[in-house]
Amino acid sequence: MVVIPELTAPTPDVLRGSENSAAAAAAASLSAVQGRPEMAVEIRDFDFAYTEELALEDVTLDIPAHRVTALIGPSGCGKSTLLRCINRMNDLIPGAGVRRGSIRVQGEEILGRTVDVIALRKYIGMVFQKYNPFPTSIFENVAYGLRISGLSNRRALADAVERSLRRAALWEETKDRLHEGALSLSGGQQQRLCIARTIAVDPKIILMDEPCSALDPIATAKVEELITDLRSDYTIVIVTHNMQQATRVSDRTAFFYVGKLVEEGETMKMFTRPEKKETEDYVSGKFG
């Protein structure tokens, strides 16, 4: 097994909670000078396995900041695994682990043992397929992460909750019922509440694993509109099985097949002029 050199690297500043580390700022200005779009996540030569067999093999992928990147591919090809690696949610699965490669977030390695995983998960929020609000009030769902971070002032909490609900396009529907149970909301509202809860702790990157697959078309359209709107403030990575959705919401698309990244590029190009035959077959619905 190849040892990951960064395992012994010191904890990057960005993951200690100070979001504007000098290194990240320098990297950003350097890339601006060189004309390269800023990369929020850089995945290199990445292998991951749950058991012996690799679930992800030799994945190299750049995820640009302030863009929506869609991960597509048939079931079981490793899309969710990759998302969970980006915020280290696979850490606790016995025997599972990174076998090779690196993942950098804002230029800083995140796979090392010394990385503050709690800070990382604040920086990189996650929204799941099955919306999962806590069985508490609408208000408390959004306030939860803020309270954990030590915010207790009532006025400040109320302001932050309102701000997050507005940002998630849910304020108008909930402002008169903030203290009602979150589970009384419709499915689409519950998913937008989960997005508000994620936004509340001020992440820079939001990972979404099939966020609309449990929603009806109207609720789906609202979440898609929200994703497009959030792009100005966040970097978004979305796993979707819905090809139309990928074309509607994403700037870039990455196509995975049995653990490997087959092709990635601008969404328009991936759907109209892909370079690989497998990509063309998949996006045109021949398999998957």
Q: Which parts of this chain interact with ligand ADP (CB under 6 A)? A: 50, 55, 73, 75-81, 93
For ligand ADP, the closer of residues 98 and 168 by Cβ is 98
Task: Characterize the bridge pairing of strands 68-72 and 235-239.
Answer: parallel
Give least dist CB 83 to Mg ion, A.
8
Q: How far is CA 70 from the centre of its chain?
A: 10
| Residue 238 β-bridge partners | 70, 208
> Binding marks (x or -) toward Mg ion, 201..240, rule CB under 5 A?
----------------------------------------
Closer to ligand ADP by CB, 182 or 208: give it: 208
Indicate the residue among 165 and 239 with the shorter CB distance to Mg ion: 239
> Quick one: tokens of 79?
């899309």
Cα-Cα-Cα-Cα dihedral of 210, 215, 217, 219, to 10°? -100
For residue 14, the minimal CB distance to Mg ion (Å) is 27
CA distance 240 to 33: 34
141 binds Mg ion (CB under 5 A): no
Nearer to ligand ADP, 24 or 239 (CB): 239
Residues 112 and 263 sit within 8 Å (Cβ to Cβ): no
82 vs 110 by CB, closer to ligand ADP: 82
Cβ-Cβ contacts under 8 Å for 72 (sequence gap 6 or more):
79, 239, 240, 241, 243, 246, 253, 254, 255, 256, 282, 283
Chosen from ligand ADP, Mg ion, none, partner binding at 93 (C-beta under 5 to 8 Å by type): ligand ADP
Instruction: Kindly identify the residues of this chain, within the stretch 53-82, that bind Mg ion according to CB under 5 A.
Output: 80
- The closest residue (CB) to Mg ion is 80
CA dist., res. 251 & res. 133, Å (int)? 29
Q: Which residues bind Mg ion (CB under 5 A)?
A: 80
